Chain A
């Protein structure tokens, strides 16, 4: 240490606080202790500097993003298949007799079949309003300001989507829905028709329609 910490804190007290000071989660009192001690201690100042550098590098953002719609469909398909989750914790099994093992296996199989049958029954008796999928043109609550609905290719990154929206003078006000539908509002740089034309001309836009042009429907399925 170059100087003396006026609070009398030791490096062993301060060093464990440094990571939480750096990531912004340390409380005010802890921050004050770190500031005061680091001002007087070269070793802790060096540790602080290293952690700040590490934090900065670890938070250089990747430019790649993934849209959730396609993955979500696969998840829901797994639910359709009645898949059971395998235990996420490792369990220690003690050796048991063969006959007891066979009996236990049969019980588990029967229970599993029962669960699957129940799940199937529950799906059949599910209310229509809990429909698993709905089409893009199905009635949805209108988002204030939304003028266009659009669906982008699953491989589109957020950067791609943002560039398309910037060109068309649009921005996202809601979404994505389960079907990957975004509701878009206009910044009025372009007419509605021009914005739609820009979207439809882009290969990464799978679908685009004017909300205002969609006929009013009654309650959804």
Chain B
């Protein structure tokens, strides 16, 4: 499931990432490109949970790597590069979501694009859940996505979202509580019937 592991050329992914960041800090565009290709799929996987517009996803990813390019020298080799990149993408995502909310008439799914997530590719049950998730505050939804969709630990999510472990626990508690209230079918066999899940 770890995309880095699948693309590894034999050297440990973490070591490769550290080498790349070091080279980016020295001004290597090739290293930046290597990082971009290695982490692109994972970022698309995360960001596509929040927008169906490929233009928006690409913009956030490229904004993220612009920050990577300019701040590679400040990277402290205490965390994984993937966590660092995701933390930048998380801030860019929040900015994009808030900008979108300030334009109530804008619907990113209607943006003209040759590259959009095909809505028919979503199953009925995913659509049902997405509607429930969209009612959560952004930070709570992101916490849930980082934990359940991206598979991060409590500590990694705290690092990505630049908050404390206690805050992540609180957001997770609130998110699960609200979903159980708004999607009561989650709690029993009616979930499969209500959402058409097989």
Q: How long is the Cα–Cα vector from A65 to B69 in the complex, in angstroms?
A: 25
Q: Tell me whether A54 and B179 are in contact in the complex, defined as CB-CB below 8 angstroms, given that A23-B147, A76-B29 are known contacts.
A: yes
Option from B29, B61, B153, B197 in Cβ contact (under 8 Å) with A57 = B197
Check if B122 is an interface residue, CB within 8 A of chain A. Answer: yes
B residues near A24, Cβ cutoff 8 Å: 151
Determine whether A108 belongs to the interface, using a CB cutoff of 8 Å to chain B.
Answer: no
CA gap between A62 and B16 in the complex, in Å: 28
Verify A50–B126 contact, CB threshold 8 A. no
- Determine whether the beta carbon of A71 is less than 8 Å from that of B126: no
Q: Would you give the 0/1 interface string for B148-170, flagging 1 where the beta carbon is closer than 8 Å to chain A?
A: 11011110000000000000010
User: Is residue A94 within 8 Å, beta carbon to beta carbon, of the partner chain?
Assistant: no
A22 interface residue per 8 A CB criterion: yes
Chain B 48-61 interface 0/1 with A at a Cβ cutoff of 8 Å (1 = within)? 10000010011001
Residue contact B186 to A54, C-beta cutoff 8 Å: yes
Q: Is the Cβ of B149 less than 8 Å from the Cβ of A78?
A: no
Which of A23, A51, A75, A130 contacts B36, CB < 8 Å? A75
Least distance between A34 CB and chain B CB atoms (Å): 14
Residues of B within 8 Å of A60, CB to CB, are: 123, 125-126
B191 touches A53 (CB 8 A): yes
Q: How far is the CA of A63 from the CA of B153 in the complex (A)?
A: 26
Given contacts A75-B36, A88-B91, contact A130 B30 (CB under 8 A): yes
A176 contacts chain B at the CB level, 8 A cutoff:
yes
* Given A23-B151, A176-B37: A71 and B62 interface contact (C-beta under 8 Å): yes
A91: min CB distance to chain B, Å:
13
Extra contacts besides A19-B172, A22-B148 (7): CB < 8 Å: A50-B186, A50-B187, A54-B179, A59-B149, A72-B40, A155-B114, A155-B115
